[in-house]
Structure 1
Amino acid sequence: MRIMVIGGNGFVGRPLSRLLSTEHEVCVLDTLRYGALRFTGEELSRLKVVLGDINDPDEVGAAIAAFRPEAIVHLAAIHYIPECEQDPGLAARVNVAGTVNLLTACPPGCRFVFASSGAVYKADERPHGEVESIVEPSDIYGFTKLHGEHYVRYMAALRGFPAVVVRLFNVIGPGETNPHLMPEIVAQLKAGYSRIALGNLTPKRDYIHVEDAARGFRAAALAGEVAPGDCVTVNLGTSHAYSVEEVLGRLRRISGLDFAVASDPARIRAVDRPVLAADIGRIKARFGWEPAWSIDAALADLWERPDLSTHLTTKYRLDAEPVPLPRAAPLPGIAAAAAP
């Protein structure tokens, strides 16, 4: 099967492209916004890579016409929330107009999988469901993803291709490209800091391992039945939410390091949901997917092989000599891929 992964060099796109390329013909379309290609030579031998910008309809149309995909997985986006808030126009151009360009070029019968976000939901203490939960974004990123969903549903019905909207929750694990919470923590600790600077500590989030996320998108692209013109919406997460304070406690035990946390006003978000978690019953039922990694296993994997983009770690290397960290008691018995 021919599958095109838009943003295939990114955090989730890279493991997804690797996964798909073992059995399918895969084309990665990426702007390389976050640095050079991060595939090995052996991996590149199984991939077709096209440098292109989804904001350019001619580039998008030419790439899709040349590859003739049977499925498109659209992961490319401006998804770091502070960046979206600082430049709403850029977020709208990439996340909405770029999505429209891809939908316009989508071939008849090609399954279109759109990476949306749990950020489209209204805050709630309970896990969010695709049908019963209120859709009410509270930030620019959430609005752009909701608008993207609207275009996916409309264009799928108009042009008769099957579509899947995947509302992805917080992803953690090796290979992050944006300064989200966990890579920021790990980057500071790996640089040797005994005091790390963070923003809000109380919000609870549903953290899914990046490999589980990649498997979820593979299932959305290949599994189950989606009729031409239909659009299926599913959540992709674990159904378990943890506060920043809880995550820090687990990371202290996993890393064996004792560190202090300082509040950085510059990192505190004016709008931050108290709880964000996914009800994942529908993706299990429709596409046969469920998570394999526990929160502790995911944190351990991130700590042991962070593989962060260089622009996430350089700023800490340039700072003053850090204070060595004292050791703490390690957390025993972490499985590589335990159930949540």
Structure 2
Amino acid sequence: MITTKSGKVLVTGADGFIGSHLTEALVMAGYDVRAFVYYNSFNSAGWLDNCSREVKNQFEIFSGDIRDPYGVRNAVKGCDEILHLAALIAIPYSYHSPDTYVDTNIKGTLNVLQAARDFGVQKVVHTSTSEVYGTAQYVPIDEKHELQGQSPYSASKIGADQMALSFYRSFKTPVSIIRPFNTYGPRQSARAVIPTIITQIAAGMKEIKLGAVTPTRDFNYVQDTVSGFISILKSERSLGEVINIGSNFEVSIQETAETISEVMGREIRITSDEVRLRPEKSEVERLWADNSKAKRLLNWEPRFGGKEGFRQGLRETIEWFSNPANLSQYKADQYNL
């Protein structure tokens, strides 16, 4: 039986990949959750339409648009804490339509902060991204690393992060910033590299189309990212802090593809698809998280860390994508912008 904790938590972007997993975990942990989902005429709550039976109908849904300050105020009213995940995150699309990234990521964050300040919200956890660091100047990357806007997406997230910190410093709004490194797992969009590889292999393709394969990433299984959010939400020591959530394990895209093919028991060959390549100076060549601050302040550690943890996370991800009902929702033969 789920025991409800006092107070209500608003999760923006609850219909997305990480947001839906986070909403489920919060409900299972006993939180009273209001899930802010992007309004659409299909009355769809995104991935929350596919949430587990244990939590279905156990949370409130609010449909709106994070860019609308009045709608955001209505969503925030009556909530004690906010986990703000709503954002545009696809890097290729940010080359296509950068203006929408400013409106959604910066202005949307401002709307949340203004409402939180006005209604006296007790805690705001704002979601950053490892992309704000750009190509690593040193490794592992700690929170003091220089910020580099190498894409319109990362620039918009730098702006949103600074807006959040400014509210903490200017108005004492109780803000914490979580900075997840590359999260992967069930339900992730095909615009990300791991689902791109898995769905092509699962669809029977032997020639796998990718962009650059030499860059390295610090992949974080979604359960670890979710536990990071909850740890920051619960911790008073996180106020005013930026905290990396990463596995402290670096792996190249090439090795990632090879590991996935091994786990799936398929032979593949990788070809470079020019349309998937970022502009030369926009490619982030290296990401590797220093997660010591999360360990120190939150007592958080990744359960799926290291090489074997990565393989285990991939096995669980592959199992989900290999389900025909799940795979049918992806278009493996198309490049997802």
Alpha-carbon shift at residue 112 of structure 1 (Å): 0.6
Does the 8 Å contact 1:3/1:26 carry over to 2? yes
Q: Which residue of 2 is the match for residue 94 of structure 1?
A: 104
Number of residues paired by the alignment? Answer: 311
SS at match of 1:289: coil
Q: Deviations over 1:221-274 (max 9, x none)?
A: 112435xxx511111111111101111221121111111111111111112122
Q: Deviations over 1:49-105 (max 9, x none)?
A: 11111111111111211xx22210111111110011111001111110011011111
Alpha-carbon shift at residue 35 of structure 1 (Å): 4.1
Query: How far apart, in 1, do the equivalents of 2:284 and 2:26 lie?
Result: 34
Q: Which residue of 2 is the match for residue 126 of structure 1?
A: 139
Task: Provide the TM-score with structure 2 as the length reference.
Answer: 0.87
Q: Which runs of 5+ in 1 are unaligned?
A: 318-340
Alpha-carbon shift at residue 44 of structure 1 (Å): 2.5
Q: Which residue of 1 is the match for residue 3 of structure 2?
A: none
Q: Which residue of 2 is the match for residue 31 of structure 1?
A: 38
Alpha-carbon shift at residue 24 of structure 1 (Å): 0.9
Does the 8 Å contact 1:78/1:95 carry over to 2? yes
Alpha-carbon shift at residue 142 of structure 1 (Å): 1.1
SS at match of 1:225: helix
Work out which of the residue numbers 307, 310, 314 in structure 2 matches 1:299. 314
Alpha-carbon shift at residue 155 of structure 1 (Å): 1.5
Work out which of the residue numbers 296, 305, 313 in structure 2 matches 1:285. 296
Q: Which residue of 2 is the match for residue 195 of structure 1?
A: 207
Query: How far apart, in 2, do the equivalents of 1:113 and 1:155 lie?
Result: 12
Query: How far apart, in 1, do the equivalents of 2:326 and 2:236 lie?
Result: 34
The structure with the greater share of residues assigned to helix is 2
Percent pairwise identity: 25
Q: Does 1:268 align with 2:283?
A: no
Q: Which amino acid aligns with 2:100?
A: L
Alignment CA distance shift 1:172-1:69 (3 Å): same
Alpha-carbon shift at residue 311 of structure 1 (Å): 8.5
RMSD, aligned α-carbons: 2.0
Q: Deviations over 1:88-135 (max 9, x none)?
A: 00111111001101111113242111110111114225111112x212
Q: How does 1:20-99 map to 2 (within 5 A)?
A: 20-22=26-28, 23-31=30-38, 35=46, 37-40=49-52, 42-65=54-77, 68-99=78-109
Q: Deviations over 1:164-197 (max 9, x none)?
A: 1111111111111351111111111111111111
Q: Which amino acid aligns with 2:68?
A: D
Does the 8 Å contact 1:91/1:141 carry over to 2? yes
Does the 8 Å contact 1:187/1:312 carry over to 2? no
Alignment CA distance shift 1:32-1:215 (3 Å): farther
The 10-residue stretch of structure 1 (121-130 or 38-47) with the greater mean CA deviation from structure 2 = 38-47
Q: Does 1:314 align with 2:331?
A: yes
Alignment CA distance shift 1:262-1:235 (3 Å): same
Q: Which amino acid aligns with 1:90?
A: T
Task: Provide the TM-score with structure 1 as the length reference.
Answer: 0.86
Q: Does 1:13 align with 2:19?
A: yes
The 10-residue stretch of structure 1 (39-48 or 114-123) with the greater mean CA deviation from structure 2 = 39-48
Does the 8 Å contact 1:113/1:166 carry over to 2? yes
